[in-house]
Structure 1
């Protein structure tokens, strides 16, 4: 029989894993409540991007990734995670509850994914010229499908050019919108920051990388000399990597959460094989561009994430808030 202290230790360990999930601009838009053997995962709506993400779609994808980390940690610790998404219509900020179920024995795949939770990093540049094999791309798609979500590798050069052009167009529009620009700058962190959230200065290159076709990146430094620099002898990477689009049949809050779960599963699998991902959400934040991608490129499915995956020599920095800021325990 499990003691209260054992349950508390297991649940807190799972929450420690949850906070390592990726989130848009590293906003970490979540909080956790613990009551006995149940964890409530809540949206921290004060961290939602008001102009970039008015509907909260990206916020829920971020929280879904945290849910996946939490359930993965519980399974690795030997407990069957009992997950209930959107459990209470009267409490819209309560996005999921996870309770400890019966004992399970984690398989090697589960342990492999769990081992990457704190190692996974978001990349914000080009990749070295190492081709991602077709069978590995298919394996990534299978990981997403395990969560009921589609990951479509974009294999045609014309398809890559279209997505790159849409990303650049959206980036240009947002760069000239003062509200969008200030929202990005709000989450940019200077060197030596003591904050535990946002995008740190060592998380992107000092001089923006360019790929062919060129996928625009967010400008977090904005006239500051921030970012990591490469050795003068280092070859500047220029490969876009494997371009892929994650999509769902519908566009509900539950599907946004499931997209986040699938995203994190894909990212952890990729990380275990030395592959990292760069995200491009710009075109999906403008209604008409997102609709164009849905209708013209995805046969009516709703795009939830555009990403590039590849190999990089850099080890980008990251930040995380302490548990004391995100967790509330029942006395």
Structure 2
């Protein structure tokens, strides 16, 4: 029978939440909150942070929260406890995405410890990559990481298919840029230089003068006419890198949460080998383009994330809200 003190439980759960907030999220909205009741940690979607226009169904919000759930699972295992997870445990409470409890005592394996060590180190990249290719052996390992969560990661090997993905990304970006309300929603999550906000995309998180890759995958215009951005790495980083698509066989809320867990597992494994990811989900925010990709390029699988993988010298710091902003703890009577 497991024996653990109240202090050990509280410390472990707090460490899990501290890790969870470092998950990637669309525009770094960090659309999650957590509640602790005894030994149970609840992960909730924060609908106030959902993108009403570009993510009306909440798909990207749930993928983001799924990535946070993976960080919780890894942290509990790294600290010696098997996580007991229930996804969408209460149909009457749709914002409650998962509950996690500390199960049996376990000894973390080397791979778990490796992934856990990358949680705060992993960064999203928003430019091209160096010409150094990602080794095929590592790409296949990333495919296996997604598969372990029941999700498919498909490296796009066909040059024609890469051109299609690039063209649809640029088309979606151009259409979205013409929509004033859509643009206002996006730039509300853009930080000016020297901002003290602990959310959104900081000005140092993208290049000041991005150079196009070949083929070109359009980036979000967070600066929106301002001379913001970083000069780091942008002049030598023009490679597209390895393009990959994360897909699921179905497209339910549970699938989105599962996709987020798989995505984070892939990203952490990649980070351990100094590989970064750049995301291009513009086309997936447009119903007809997403359906086109599903039917014409992905054999009926539902695309959840389009990414490029590669090497970069970018070492920008991430920003996250403190645990006190996202955690509610029930005090014993």
Normalization by structure 2: what TM-score?
0.98
Taking the aligned partners of 1:135 and 1:111, their CA distance within structure 2 comes to 21
8 Å contact from structure 1 (residues 24, 59) kept in 2: yes
In structure 1, the residue matched to 2:292 is 292
In structure 2, the residue matched to 1:252 is 252
Equivalenced residue count is 329
In structure 1, the residue matched to 2:150 is 148
8 Å contact from structure 2 (residues 190, 203) kept in 1: yes
Taking the aligned partners of 2:180 and 2:316, their CA distance within structure 1 comes to 28
Taking the aligned partners of 1:167 and 1:199, their CA distance within structure 2 comes to 20
Taking the aligned partners of 1:208 and 1:85, their CA distance within structure 2 comes to 40
**1:70-85 matches, cutoff 5 A:** 70-85=72-87
In structure 2, the residue matched to 1:281 is 281
In structure 1, the residue matched to 2:126 is 124
**1:255-270 matches, cutoff 5 A:** 255-270=255-270
Choose 92-101 or 314-323, whichever is displaced more: 314-323
Following superposition, which runs of at least 4 residues in structure 1 exceed 4 angstroms of deviation?
none
Q: CA deviation at 1:235?
A: 4.4
In structure 1, the residue matched to 2:227 is 225
RMSD, matched Cα: 0.9
In structure 1, the residue matched to 2:110 is 108
List runs of 5+ in structure 2 lacking aligned partners.
Answer: none
**Cα-to-partner distance string for 1:5-37 (whole Å, 9 max, x where unaligned):** 111111101110010000000000000000111
Normalization by structure 1: what TM-score?
0.98
In structure 2, the residue matched to 1:92 is 94
Taking the aligned partners of 1:293 and 1:316, their CA distance within structure 2 comes to 32
**Cα-to-partner distance string for 1:237-258 (whole Å, 9 max, x where unaligned):** 1100000000000000000000
Taking the aligned partners of 2:5 and 2:300, their CA distance within structure 1 comes to 50
**Cα-to-partner distance string for 1:158-206 (whole Å, 9 max, x where unaligned):** 0100000000000000000011100111000011111110000110011
8 Å contact from structure 1 (residues 123, 316) kept in 2: no
**1:1-331 matches, cutoff 5 A:** 1-230=3-232, 235-331=235-331
List runs of 5+ in structure 1 lacking aligned partners.
Answer: none
3-state SS of 1:245 partner = strand
Taking the aligned partners of 1:209 and 1:3, their CA distance within structure 2 comes to 55
Taking the aligned partners of 2:9 and 2:102, their CA distance within structure 1 comes to 8
3-state SS of 1:168 partner = helix
